[in-house]
Amino acid sequence: MAMLIKEDIIKQAADIGVRFVRLQFTDIFGVMKNVSIPVGQLEKALDGELMFDGSSIDGFARIEESDMYLRPDYRTWSVMPHNPQTARFICDVYNADNTPFPGDPRHVLRLALAEAARLGYSMNVGPEMEFFLFRVDDEGKPTLKTQDSASYFDLAPVDLGEAARREMVLDLESMDFEVEASHHESAPGQHEIDFKYADALPAADNVQTFKFVVRQVAQQHGLHATFMPKPIYGIAGSGMHVNQSLFRDGQNIFYDGHGERGLSQEAYYYLGGLLHHAPALTAILNPTVNSYKRLVSGYEAPVYVAWAEKNRSPLVRIPSKRGKSTRMELRSPDPSCNPYLAFAVMLMAGLDGIKNKISPPAPVECNIFRLNDAERRDMSLPLLPGTLKEALEAMRNSQLVMNTLGEHISRLFYDAKLLEWEEYSADISQWEIDRYLSKF
């Protein structure tokens, strides 16, 4: 979308008949929040004068620091599908003293992008979003019953989610998404919609908008859309593979027609940084207890820190296209992550690889999932953290990740997620009841 000015937006709102405007922002855990205002307050909002109580948002501010302002990003102005009386902005969060709020995930990504710009780079990101569609019960609550038994690329009538998925695509396109493909995924009830890459900040905004639209459309079809990483035992979970590349002066700096595999030295160093810091990134890329139910062998999710080209079993894959399409696909993230924080830590890890010339190990061209334990040991393949607790410890021990997040977010994120792990560990699961209640 072309950059609009204040007067353009006010005129558009009047011409379309907008009556309400949603001012959207994201908390540190990746949950989109919303303040809705009548259109009469639009000019005040556009001037960044709309105040809200930050102490009411988990992980934002203490009650004595609660006055905050939402500053709309004019580029995110959009009318909501099926409801032309409602429009939205995605906003940056500011303190009362006119400084960026350090707990705003969008601000964290902006700082990482500023560091990349200082080195002459911009970052392009193309996320691949997977999700499940489940039936709801008579009270409208989600169940674990899928509405189909389809698999990869199946069509209706086997893929009964096709109608909802088609409407999702149309709604996303009405909000200026360039959707490249949509299809049924491997598990029953699982779907994927891919949209074109973008600069990192708009790409993170797109992830949040995508989740919002998918949930809305699913609800209209009597379904529940979830981005929970692993809702059903025994089948594949949902990932958010992240394709990423660096550009300088309009040129993809990962590409070198004379380099080994068509990759530049900077590309190899960026890859080295990603792999070197991968364990420390995991708490951000896979931020829930449930995330680690997906990161297990046998269900297409990466477990070992390795890379390859055509092989999809390692952590990082280099797709075959070259030129401007040269990119790295990091396959561990899942859609429960906060995209602003996720893209920020990925970028800083890759930049650290470039700055410190971290070379990656040799590629692993065999299917890691089919190797036995002895073969994997012989190859000295490092493992990603196996639990949220392990990931949090790796994060806390990483100066790069903690500095990227900043003191505010790193402290609150760590404390909240450690509490989540402790509550999970103390809970008595149905599995334990079924296994032990009668046995002992």
The string of DSSP letters for 187-217 reads STTEEEEEE--EEHHHHHHHHHHHHHHHHHH
Active site (annotated) includes residue 312? yes
Catalytic residue among 104, 130, 167, 205: 130
> 149-182: b or e for each residue (b if 16 or more CB lie within 10 Å)?
ebeeebeeeebbbbebbebbbebbeebebeeeeb
Is 67 inside any structural domain?
Answer: yes
Q: Which of 49, 53, 173, 365 is catalytic?
A: 53
162 is catalytic: no
Is 185 tagged catalytic? yes
Residue 332 dihedral angles phi and psi, to the nearest 5°: -85, -30
C-alpha–C-alpha distance, residues 439 and 89, integer Å: 57
SS3 358: coil
Residue 106 domain-assigned (yes or no): no
163 and 237 fall within a common domain: yes
Predicted TM-score (pTM) above 0.75: yes
Which residue among 19, 135, 221, 312 is the active-site one? 312
DSSP state of 17: T
Same domain, 148 and 207: yes
Best CA proximity match to 179, nearest among 148, 151, 209: 209
d(CA 46, CA 257): 46
Are residues 355 and 208 part of one domain? Answer: yes
In terms of domains, do 210 and 348 share one?
A: yes
Q: What 8-state DSSP symbol labels residue 151?
A: -
Compute the radius of gyration of the chain from its Cα atoms.
22
Whichever domain contains 76, its CATH number is: 3.10.20.70
138 is catalytic: no
Phi, then psi, of 337 in degrees rounded to 5: -75, 160
Q: DSSP for 18-43? A: --EEEEEEE-TTS-EEEEEEEGGGHH
Q: Is the dihedral of CA 207, 212, 213, 219 positive or negative?
A: positive
pLDDT tens for 405-416 read 999 999 999 999
Residues in the chain: 440
11: tokens are 């005129």
Query: Is 181 in the same domain as 36?
Result: no
How far apart are the C-alpha atoms of 410 and 398, rounded to whole Å?
A: 11
Helix axis angle for 200-220 and 339-355, nearest 10°, is: 150
256 noted as active-site residue: no
Does some domain include residue 439? no
What are the tokens at 6?
A: 């204040």
Helix, coil or strand: residue 331: coil
Is residue 340 included in any domain, yes or no?
yes
158 and 54, same structural domain?
no
Which of 104, 128, 159, 162 is flagged as catalytic?
128
Q: Decide if 187 contacts 174 (C-beta within 8 A).
A: no
Catalytic-labelled residue, pool 148, 159, 171, 185: 185
Domain C-terminal end among 83, 101, 119: 101
Q: What is the dihedral of CA 260, 262, 263, 264, to 10 degrees?
A: 90
Question: Quick check: helix, strand or coil at residue 249?
Answer: coil
Which of residues 51, 74, 101 is at a domain's end? 101
Catalytic status, residue 221: no
The single-letter code of the amino acid at 359 is S
Q: In this structure, are 171 and 134 located in the same domain?
A: yes
The helices-and-strands tally (H runs, E runs) of the chain is 12, 17
Number of domains in the chain: 2
Over its length of 440 residues, how does the chain's per-residue pLDDT go in tens digits? 567 899 999 999 999 999 999 999 999 999 999 899 999 999 999 998 888 877 666 656 554 456 789 999 999 999 998 888 999 999 999 998 999 999 999 999 999 999 999 999 999 999 999 999 999 888 888 899 887 665 544 555 444 577 888 899 999 999 999 998 887 876 788 999 998 999 999 999 999 999 999 999 999 988 999 999 999 998 889 999 999 999 999 999 999 999 999 999 999 999 999 999 999 999 999 999 999 999 987 767 889 999 998 777 889 999 988 999 999 999 999 999 999 999 999 999 999 999 999 999 999 887 777 777 777 777 778 889 999 999 999 999 999 999 999 999 999 999 999 999 999 999 999 999 999 999 99
Residue 424 domain flag: yes
Q: Is residue 187 located within the same domain as residue 233?
A: yes
Q: Are residues 94 and 196 in the same domain?
A: no
Torsion, Cα of 51, 55, 60, 66 (10° steps):
50
Q: Is 331 known to be catalytic?
A: yes
Query: Active-site residue 53, yes or no?
Result: yes
Pair 417, 290 in one domain: yes
Q: What are the residue ranges of helices labelled H in 40-161?
A: 42-46, 105-118
Q: What is the pLDDT of residues 146-186, one digit of tens each?
A: 876 655 445 554 445 778 888 999 999 999 999 988 878 76
Whether 142 and 219 map to the same domain: the answer is yes
How far apart are alpha carbons 230 and 106 in whole angstroms?
27
CB atoms within 10 A of CB 47: 12
DSSP state of 324: G
Tell whether 436 is covered by a domain.
Answer: no
Q: What is the rounded CA–CA span in Å between residue 200 and residue 193?
A: 18
Residue 374 lies in a domain: yes
- Does residue 437 sit within a domain? no
Range of the domain at 209: 111-431
Question: Which residues have a Cβ under 8 Å from the Cβ of 2 and sit 6 or more positions away?
Answer: none
Q: Which tokens is 302 given?
A: 């990466």
Q: Rounded to whole angstroms, how far apart are CA atoms 120 and 127?
A: 23
How far is the CA of 330 from the CAs of 61, 132, 160, 303, 315, in angstroms?
A: 33, 21, 30, 12, 6
One of 148, 192, 256, 334 is an active-site residue; which one?
192
What are the structure tokens assigned to 401, written together? 């990740």
**CA dist., res. 171 & res. 81, Å (int):** 6
Do 17 and 145 fall into the same domain? no
Catalytic site residue from 43, 154, 329, 420: 329
Query: What's the angle, vertex CA 351, arms to CA 262 and CA 258, rounded to 5?
Result: 15
| Domain final residue, candidates 46, 79, 101 | 101
